Amino acid sequence: LHGLKLAATLVDQTHPDSNILLRVKMNTGHGAGKSVQMMAQEIGEEFGFYERAVGKLPKPKALEATLKKQRNARDARVAKKSDQKPKL
In the chain, domain spans: 2-82
Residues 6+ apart with CB under 8 A from 53: 19
At residue 28, does pLDDT exceed 80? Answer: no
Residues 6+ apart with CB under 8 A from 21: 46, 49
At residue 76, does pLDDT exceed 80? Answer: yes
Mean pLDDT over 76-80 rounds to 85
Give the C-alpha separation, 56 to 16, whole Å: 22
Q: Which helix (H) or strand (E) holds 78?
A: helix 61-83
Mean pLDDT score of the chain, rounded to an integer?
80
Q: What angle do CA 44, 23, 67 make, to 5 degrees?
A: 30
CB 7 within 8 A of CB 22: yes
